[in-house]
Amino acid sequence: MALARIARSNLRKSGGAFRSYAHENNMFNERTYTTKCSLLSNLDSKLDGNFSQISRSKEQNYMNFSMRGIAGTPYNQHASANAQRVEEESESELEDDQIRYAGLEATKPGEKPRVVVLGTGWAACRFLKGLDTKIYDVVCISPRNHMVFTPLLASTCVGTLEFRSVAEPVGRIQDAVAKDPNSYFFLASCTGIDTNKHEVYCEVVPNGGLSREPYQFKVAYDKLVIAAGAEPLTFGIKGVKEHAFFLREVNHAQEIRKRLLLNLMLSENPGTSEEEKKRLLHCVVIGGGPTGVEFSGELSDFIMNDVCERYTHVKDYIHVTLIEANEILSSFDVSLRQYAIKHLTKSGVHLLRGVVKEVHPQKLILSDGTEVPYGLLVWSTGVGPSEFVKKLNFPSSPGGRIGVDQWMRVPSVEDVFALGDCAGFLEQTGRPVLPALAQVAERQGKFLVELFNKIGKQNGGKALSANAIQLGDPFVYKHLGSMASVGGYKALVDLRQSKDAKGLSLAGFLSWLIWRSAYLTRVLSWRNRFYVAVNWGTTFVFGRDNTRI
């Protein structure tokens, strides 16, 4: 113990020397080391005041030392001079550090290979659902413990559906993480990957309940599946992250619902001016893709069917504006786009073409100088790579996603796969980067889990053991079509396989029935299908619930 403390103290005094020593002895892969340093440095910037105020460089060097488990006193000639200072350090600090970097060690011979999955989105959960847990142990790591059925998320914002109807717990998708002794779900975010040591480094989601935060740990893997999703695109526009609501998670929908109902109630208070009522009840949606259009349609239904009945004092003030830089629903057939524009306009949604320049707390400014006051601002302009994905030192596909080959492998490293919104085909594959759609992610998850089960049956599940196994046919994606609801029991169904191909296109009430039927069958569990069906029936008979909880 004393030698370990001496080594740690010496390392703190020789930060630059340690890196030099590691490089000279070829101890680490250079790219992995750079990536981990940048990620850990970013973590260090978020540490709160509960930690001792040691210098940033020393803290980072110590973290690198601890996570790699290096022993000895590299490149230091004065260990004895530091012995007295080391002896003064408390035993409790050492114990805390050991706990902080605890985790799952590499699997041993005779044990099942371990698959680590990062994320709980469409791709990750489809993979988890089909994984043969007789062959593999599985560890899922994600900052949320459920999958969100995103096509129906907009309906929860106005009370058409309840939030639990669109959330599927990971333990129900793959019960091994709840029952098997060597399979786990960890509520945490991945902060770094060491592909040489086959380890991922994680930080527990802070909640104020741990004795020391951020709490960090590591997990060794035999196979790693990165399905970490993407983040909303803000294009660097000032004020978007601070003042706009996104619509990607259940908590986003909850916040939108709270703000909408709050504004309705505040606008009825005595003394509220006409101008303030108009601002409070102006709902602005940025982005004319399927999510933006469906949310606008749900809002218009809510206004016509519920607000006019339950908020009669302010019913004439509430209105919706949908702002799009180009064409709404650009991937749909022209006739369907025209139908959507006509129907939304008839439903009271104001369509405005423009580009947002900056966002302020109570108004946004377009590039032509137009000022648009708002009480609720929902941002839905697509997604892009997350900060975690950007910092990984892996090959990139066009657009900044993790580059993969036709079998969803990251070619530069062993036993690492990526899929879903965070992954895209490398240019050398000759394939285009697929759109960030749920059906793309789901199909990739289905393909990869079949590949993993095949590899596992041929004893290729362990680390570095699948090189000689024939992988079979590569992944091929065929688009099944697109659907979008526009409110008022109307929807669009575009069954073309590509934007320029010919195919069946429908709009109207029949399309709405197809839309609801298709999504009801795609909900993962019978429990949630029952919830969704009951919610739809309850809303049809009694209207939407407007309780602000």
pLDDT exceeds cutoff 70 at 452: yes
Spell out the residues 6+ positions from residue 28 whose beta carbon is closer than 8 angstroms to its own.
22, 68, 196
pLDDT exceeds cutoff 90 at 124: yes
Tell me how far apart the alpha carbons of residues 133 and 306 are, in angstroms, rounded to a whole number. Answer: 48
Residue 501 binned pLDDT confidence (cut-offs 50, 70, 90)? confident
Task: Out of 67-71, 262-266, 385-389, 486-490, pick the least confident.
Answer: 67-71
Tell me how far apart the alpha carbons of residues 388 and 142 are, in angstroms, rounded to a whole number. Answer: 13
- Output the pLDDT for position 208: 65
- Output the pLDDT for position 511: 95
Mean pLDDT of 372-393: 94
Specify burial of residue 49 (Cβ count, 10 A radius: 0-12, 13-18, 19+). Answer: exposed
Tell me how far apart the alpha carbons of residues 213 and 235 are, in angstroms, rounded to a whole number. Answer: 32
pLDDT exceeds cutoff 50 at 15: no
Between CA 419 and CA 427, with CA 421 as vertex, the angle to 5 degrees is: 70
Query: What are the backbone angles phi and psi of residue 142, rounded to the nearest 5°?
Result: -160, 150
Tell me how far apart the alpha carbons of residues 520 and 325 are, in angstroms, rounded to a whole number. Answer: 32
pLDDT exceeds cutoff 80 at 381: yes
Query: What are the backbone angles phi and psi of residue 134, rounded to the nearest 5°?
Result: -75, -20
- Output the pLDDT for position 82: 44
pLDDT exceeds cutoff 50 at 22: no
Q: Is 315 helix (H, G, I), strand (E, B) or coil?
A: coil
Q: What are the structural domains, with CATH classification, of the chain?
A: 103-232+385-458 (3.50.50.100), 245-381+481-542 (3.50.50.100)
**Contact assessment for residue 375 and residue 264, using Cβ atoms and an 8 Å cutoff:** no
Residue 31 binned pLDDT confidence (cut-offs 50, 70, 90)? very low
What is the token pair recorded at 388? 């975690």
Q: How many CA atoms lie within 13 A of 529 on its CB side?
A: 11
What does 480-540 look like in DSSP terms, one character per residue?
--EEEEEETTEEEEE--SSTTS---EEEEHHHHHHHHHHHHHHSSSHHHHHHHHHHHHHHH
- Output the pLDDT for position 546: 81
- Output the pLDDT for position 1: 44
Residue with tokens 């459920």: 146
pLDDT exceeds cutoff 50 at 541: yes
pLDDT exceeds cutoff 60 at 57: no
Residue 341 binned pLDDT confidence (cut-offs 50, 70, 90)? very high
- Output the pLDDT for position 379: 97
pLDDT exceeds cutoff 60 at 198: yes
Which of the two residues, 208 and 125, has the higher pLDDT score?
125
pLDDT exceeds cutoff 50 at 35: no
Instruction: Provide the mean pLDDT of the chain.
Output: 83
Query: What's the pLDDT tens digit per position in 513-528?
Result: 999 999 999 998 999 9
Residue 25 binned pLDDT confidence (cut-offs 50, 70, 90)? very low
- Output the pLDDT for position 277: 95
**Contact assessment for residue 320 and residue 348, using Cβ atoms and an 8 Å cutoff:** yes
Query: What's the pLDDT tens digit per position in 60-85?
Result: 333 333 333 333 323 333 343 444 44
Query: What's the pLDDT tens digit per position in 386-404?
Result: 999 999 999 999 989 999 9
Look at phi and psi of residue 390 and say left if phi exceeds 0, alpha if psi is from -120 to 50, else beta.
alpha
Q: Is 28 helix (H, G, I), strand (E, B) or coil?
A: coil
In the chain, pLDDT over 90 holds for what percent of residues?
72
Whole-prediction pTM value? 0.80
Which of the two residues, 196 and 40, has the higher pLDDT score?
196
Specify burial of residue 442 (Cβ count, 10 A radius: 0-12, 13-18, 19+). Answer: buried
- Output the pLDDT for position 127: 97
- Output the pLDDT for position 458: 94
Residue 218 binned pLDDT confidence (cut-offs 50, 70, 90)? very high
- Output the pLDDT for position 101: 65
CA Rg value for the chain? 26
In the chain, pLDDT over 70 holds for what percent of residues?
81
Query: What are the backbone angles phi and psi of residue 81, rounded to the nearest 5°?
Result: -70, -20
Specify burial of residue 18 (Cβ count, 10 A radius: 0-12, 13-18, 19+). Answer: buried
- Output the pLDDT for position 92: 46
- Output the pLDDT for position 4: 44
Residue 98 binned pLDDT confidence (cut-offs 50, 70, 90)? very low
Q: Is 250 helix (H, G, I), strand (E, B) or coil?
A: helix
Query: What's the pLDDT tens digit per position in 314-337?
Result: 999 999 999 999 999 998 999 999
